[in-house]
Chains A and B, each alone.
Chain A
Amino acid sequence: MDTKHISSAFDRDLQGAQAMLMTMAAQVETAMLRAAEALATNNLEMAETVRKNDRAIDELEEGIKIDCARILATRSPNAGDLRTVLTVMSIASNLERCGDYAKNIAKRTSVLADAHPVKDVSPALRRMQKAVVAMMGDALDAYTRRDLEIAQEVRERDREVDELYNTLFRSLLTHMMEEPQSITACMHLHFIAKNIERMGDHTTSVAEQVIYLVTGELPDEDRPKGDLTSLSSPESFGDPA
């Protein structure tokens, strides 16, 4: 809806909450990028920055929720306005979780600095991170433009992230079996991969919120799921052959 409310304060309230969401989104995207960069280049200073900045992200989320609660209480929004408020709250939660995962990756980066190095895993992690950061950028783009097509496309792309995760899971298991001294490092790398995979899920949820915002209906649960690792045992995946 491009027309203005009769009460201009209502417009300001809605714009305020959405502006705060965009600020938060920018900070979370930065955190995701920096966490990836810090891990790839072993940059502990950058990892520390990511950890420190997470508090600001949490505070923004808090602020968004308070603003949305106030809008719900005082304006009783309907229709598109109601969906906007609900979507803003939901996306803020997704972004907050992504911020936490970035922080967790940064923490593990500092631990990994002293651990036994693991070969050949970095490029795959890097690919995964790139894919998720790009998805998040597009999901947020879909939000600002209320673009259904981009949102649906982002939702489909989560499958690639899941598949990259499956591959990483398999190769980490192989590493651990071949070189038991790499288990500590591999466990951390596995949690990092899982964090990135979860970021992908939250990004998908952002895209689904955009679909709800635009159409009024949440998409069906028929999205293809690519993460099969919960169904697997070391025997089925870990055979080095």
Chain B
Amino acid sequence: MDALRTVTRDIDTNSTKISARGVQVHYGDTHAIKDVDVDIKERSVTAFIGPSGCGKSTFLRCINRMNDTIDICRVTGDIRIDGDDIYDRSIDPVQLRARVGMVFQKPNPFPKSIYDNVAYGPKIHGLARSRAEMDEIVERSLRRGAIWDEVKDRLHAPGTGLSGGQQQRLCIARAVATDPEVLLMDEPCSALDPIATAQIEELIDTLREKYTVVIVTHSMQQAARVSQKTAFFHLGNLVEYGDTDDIFTNPKDRRTESYISGRIG
């Protein structure tokens, strides 16, 4: 029976990539994340869903310490990647962000050429020793971003001249250029049309062969399509976390059911 299923949602490995325990986030007096525990599997796509203000983006931003850049934000608890505490004093956030790449809601290419957009990360991290090596990294990254064929003849044209969907794929290429282990995506398709969205979703599915992908999305159908695991956040709590198939057909918590079926919860 399983052999006949066309969609395999299995995760190849069972090992945990990101593990969070007792994570709390405060913005000044606001308690934004309340005691979240979660284990995110290696080489899988995990979707964070929930209503606006539920804390899903805040939690995502804890994973590469983007919240450090906000003065009034205080993160406590334990977040580990491959067992290493990423909030340890010895960890350099800049190095961490090379390991944990991020793609944002609105495509934000640098006002530079397509080539330089991708080469930027490897350059500051000293990943290429020669021009030829850099060319190779740029091509490989653009291929992983599924945009190489569309831009290979105009690598020195400005990245901002691309269409929205192409810009977003360029940003994904830029994020994978430093060869990260984890890719965080904060509503990567919300500014894109359905065709560009489908292309990004297709790309996400191939990215999970190499990376651990965590995606925040407001589109429930997108979460159902691209992810193997889904976490539902509500009022700062992680309400339910499980296999995507189960969450969307038979959620255990009434709040999850209310949210995903479009009811007033």
Which residues from chain A sit less than 8 Å from chain B, CB to CB? Answer: 1, 3-7, 10, 75-83, 215-217
Contacts and interface: CB of A to CB of B under 8 A. Distances in A.
Contacts of B224: 78
Interface stretch (B58-66, B106-114, B256-264): B256-264
10 smallest CB-CB distances across A and B, nearest first, come from A216-B250, A78-B260, A81-B261, A3-B263, A79-B257, A78-B248, A5-B262, A79-B261, A78-B261, A5-B263
Task: Determine chain B's interface SS by DSSP, over half rule.
Answer: helix
Given A1-B257, A1-B258, A79 B251 contact: yes
A82 B29 CA distance: 40
A194 to B, nearest CB: 29
B249 A3 contact: no
Contacts of A83: 249-250
A82 B265 CA distance: 18
Interface of B: 220-221, 224, 248-251, 256-258, 260-265
B263 A6 contact: yes
Contact of A79 (B221, B248, B264, B265): B248
Given A4-B264, A5-B263, A6-B264, A82 B258 contact: no
Contact of B261 (A80, A216, A217): A80
A15 to B, nearest CB: 14
14 contacts: A1-B263, A3-B264, A6-B264, A7-B262, A10-B262, A78-B248, A78-B249, A78-B261, A79-B248, A79-B257, A79-B260, A80-B257, A80-B261, A216-B250
Given A82-B249, A216-B249, A216-B250, A77 B261 contact: yes
A232 B265 CA distance: 57
Nearest to A86: B249
Given A4-B264, A216-B250, 11 more contacts: A1-B261, A3-B258, A4-B263, A6-B264, A78-B224, A78-B249, A78-B260, A79-B251, A79-B260, A81-B261, A215-B250
A197 to B, nearest CB: 28
Nearest to A6: B262
Nearest to A82: B249
Nearest to A78: B260
Contacts of B265: 3
Nearest to B258: A3
A216 B242 CA distance: 15
Contacts of A76: 220-221
Contacts of B251: 79
Contacts of B261: 1, 5, 77-81
A6 B261 CA distance: 9
Contacts of A4: 263-264
